[in-house]
Amino acid sequence: MSSFNERVYTLVRRIPRGKVLTYGRVAALLGVPRGARAVGWALHGAPEDVPWQRVISARGCISTRCPEHPPQLQRALLVAEGIRFKAEDSFALADFPAVLWQLSDEELADLP
């Protein structure tokens, strides 16, 4: 397993319940500003203790397509955490900006 994947897992484990980050934001926080796709690949093979469902597209939508992490499962896991979805688009978050995790300066300084 690459150290990039481990860093992705470490960061995603820190996302609080009921909050999300985008693939691109995870990559940028890890110093790989164009690494959104690599974050997706890392999460595809994530250990069970990594809350992969808390990482979404930059448009505020569920974008997973793999059989191991189907969009319906991601939606159900996020709903269980209190995240709401738009009525007209069942895979788009209703309060996208409000549920984005805003890291404190202390949390930023302690990134993997």
**Nearest Cα to 40, choosing from 60, 16, 22, 13?**
22
Tally: H helices and E strands in the chain: 6, 2
pLDDT digits (tens, 9 = 90+) for 39-74: 999 999 899 999 999 999 999 999 988 888 899 999
Domains assigned to the chain? 3-109 (1.10.10.10)
Handedness of CA 12, 29, 84, 17 (dihedral sign): positive
pLDDT digits (tens, 9 = 90+) for 16-35: 999 999 999 999 999 999 99
Q: Within the chain, where are the H helices?
A: 3-14, 23-29, 36-44, 71-80, 96-99, 105-109
14, burial (CB in 10 Å: exposed 0-12, middle 13-18, buried 19+): middle
Its pTM stands at: 0.93
Cα–Cα distance between 18 and 105 in angstroms, integer? 20
